[in-house]
Amino acid sequence: MSKDKILVIGSSGQIGTELVHNLRAVYGTDNVIASDIKRTAQAKEGPFEVIDVMNAHQLGEIVTRHDVNQVYLLAALLSATAEKMPKLGWELNMQGLFNVLDLAKEKIIDRIYWPSSIAVFGPNTPRENTPQFTIMEPSTVYGISKQAGERWCEYYFKKYNVDVRSLRYPGLIGWQSAPGGGTTDYAVHIFHEALKTGTYECFLSENTTLPMMYMPDAIKATIGIMQADADKVKIRSSYNLAGFSFSPKDIALEIKKHIPEFTISYTPDSRQQIADSWPQSINATEASKDWGWKPDFDLKQMTDDMFSNLKK
């Protein structure tokens, strides 16, 4: 029997959907409480609570009632949505984090997972093989909130001994759930459109290379850093994490190997500017060195696995 009781906030989103499945396989269904801002179909699969992460009182009540000791905080506005609602993006992304950090400061919970992003980097960051420690200067609301969040995580760790762990996710691609409001979402949409219509109109230009990762690797990294011994997790802001990098043109070529008649066109929109401010590839040496990070999937393996699952 696991002694850990886990709460996943934002559990019905792109990452949460798959993370809850995997956490339940490890810790047992009843030890993983899913929660989101509204009731979703996930409520049929196991324990579920409606939580507004901005409401510290409600959050505290649910954490206490279920005797939760670990929280995975996934509720956030992503890059493209936050540009449309900057104030809400800032408030949700920051207040949600404070509410969870404070639960750990008060020793009500003892471990936190909070995702950061490649969006913490900006136009002045070295774009290739971007190091862990470098110029950041994010230019999006989302990136600003993630960078500030990283600073606060490290601050709570140093000042209050809060055991918070974090990864800078690249664009994430999976078949079980839809992405919501990010700049890298095209890399999921393209698979669905390829199967449905045989064609895709991409909102980024053909040579826009971005760091990406297949969801099973992201889940493996997330659970991996949460299970690592505390003294191995040396970076308490957030770790660079790397899978592989590709452009819309690269993935279109890979998709054509499965669907030869597939066509793609390019109509860049406001998300192009966001993508242009982000790195093209990430150096994840620290994650490998400190707690043994290693991805399993490359572009070809991911594409093969996406098609074999989506076709089912």
Q: Which residues are known to be catalytic?
A: 142
Smallest gap, in angstroms, from Cβ of residue 208 to ligand SER?
12
- State the pairing for strand pair 210-214/244-246: antiparallel
167 vs 226, beta carbon nearer ligand SER = 167
Smallest gap, in angstroms, from Cβ of residue 115 to ligand SER?
8
Smallest gap, in angstroms, from Cβ of residue 47 to ligand SER?
28
Task: Select from 267, 80, 297, 282 the least CA-distant residue to 184.
Answer: 80
Query: How many whole angstroms separate alpha carbon 42 and alpha carbon 145?
Result: 28
Smallest gap, in angstroms, from Cβ of residue 306 to ligand SER?
16
Task: Select from 18, 25, 81 the least CA-distant residue to 222.
Answer: 18
Structure tokens at 222: 């997330």
Specify the 3-state DSSP secondary structure of 113: strand
Chain residues binding ligand SER by CB under 6 A are: 78-79, 117-119, 142, 169, 171, 182-184
100 vs 167, beta carbon nearer ligand SER = 167
Residues 6+ apart with CB under 8 A from 247: 206, 207, 208, 209, 210
Smallest gap, in angstroms, from Cβ of residue 152 to ligand SER?
18
Q: How crowded is the C-beta side of 294, counted as CA atoms within 13 Å?
A: 3
Q: What is 249-307 written as a DSSP string?
A: HHHHHHHHTT-TT-EEEE---THHHHHHTS-SSB--HHHHHHH-------HHHHHHHHH
List, in sequence order, the alpha helices (H) in the chain.
Answer: 14-27, 56-65, 79-84, 86-105, 141-160, 186-196, 215-227, 248-256, 271-276, 285-291, 299-310
169 vs 200, beta carbon nearer ligand SER = 169
152 vs 262, beta carbon nearer ligand SER = 152
DSSP tag of 141: H
Structure tokens at 210: 């971005």
16 vs 182, beta carbon nearer ligand SER = 182
Question: Nearest residue by C-beta to ligand SER?
Answer: 182
